[in-house]
């Protein structure tokens, strides 16, 4: 922002002031060596300003190009992020469907065998399976688990998990 202000001031200065020392004073009007030295110095400063202006114009063009590239990359990243969110949602739905199917399988098993298998699963999957099983069958499975595992699953069953939403 500061660079744009300086650039604007330089452009305004360049448009409003004479471009060379020759425009300021004719050769015939120069009275002394001191005046000539000052005019040469002013002319050199004008030349420096022109070089600086050209440099700033070049940098401004570079910045605009880079800004366009950054905008394109941000748009591409947003598109990828949206695709990733869709894939994760689809994965979650598929996992839920598979857990439901697995719950039906466990429900049809003998409670003692189902309990032995559930004991070996991670806690969240075990809870998800028990949620999908009829309550009477789930009770029988819990009854066939050791007290420590049944208590841990019961505690975890009553807790409401808070899931992180992607992007928040």
Asked whether residue 82 falls in the same domain as residue 49, the answer is yes
Q: What is the pLDDT of residue 33?
A: 86
Q: Is residue 48 part of a domain?
A: yes
How far are the Cα atoms of 81, 83, 103 from residue 87, in angstroms, in the given order?
A: 10, 6, 24
Which residues lie below 8 Å from residue 84, measured CB to CB, with a gap of 6+? 166
* Neighbour-count burial of 33, counting CB atoms closer than 10 A to its CB (0-12 exposed, 13-18 middle, 19+ buried): exposed
- What is the span of the domain harbouring residue 115? 109-161
Which residues lie below 8 Å from residue 123, measured CB to CB, with a gap of 6+? 152, 153, 156
Q: How far apart are CA 100 and CA 112, in angstroms?
A: 20
Asked whether residue 78 falls in the same domain as residue 5, the answer is yes
Kindly state the DSSP code that residue 26 receives in the 8-state scheme.
-
Low-confidence ranges of the chain (pLDDT < 70): 1-30, 160-168
Q: What is the pLDDT of residue 89?
A: 96
Q: What is the pLDDT of residue 35?
A: 86
Q: Which of 93, 123, 138 is the last residue of a domain?
A: 93
Asked whether residue 89 falls in the same domain as residue 21, the answer is yes
């Amino acid at each position: 922002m500061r660079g744009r202000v300086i650039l604007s001031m330089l452009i305004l200065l360049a448009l409003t002031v004479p471009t060379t020392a020759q425009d300021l004073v004719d050769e015939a009007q120069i009275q002394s060596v001191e005046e000539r030295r000052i005019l040469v110095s002013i002319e050199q400063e004008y030349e420096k300003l022109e070089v600086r202006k050209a440099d700033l114009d070049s940098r401004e063009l570079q910045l605009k190009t880079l800004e366009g590239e950054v905008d394109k990359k941000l748009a591409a990243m947003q598109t990828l992020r949206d695709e990733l969110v869709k894939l994760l949602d689809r994965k979650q739905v598929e996992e839920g469907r598979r857990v439901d199917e697995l719950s039906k399988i466990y429900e049809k098993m003998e409670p003692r065998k189902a309990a032995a298998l559930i004991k070996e699963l991670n806690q969240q999957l075990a809870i998800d399976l028990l949620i999908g099983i009829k309550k009477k069958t789930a009770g029988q499975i819990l009854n066939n688990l050791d007290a420590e595992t049944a208590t841990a699953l019961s505690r975890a069953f009553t807790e409401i998990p808070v899931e992180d939403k992607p992007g928040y």
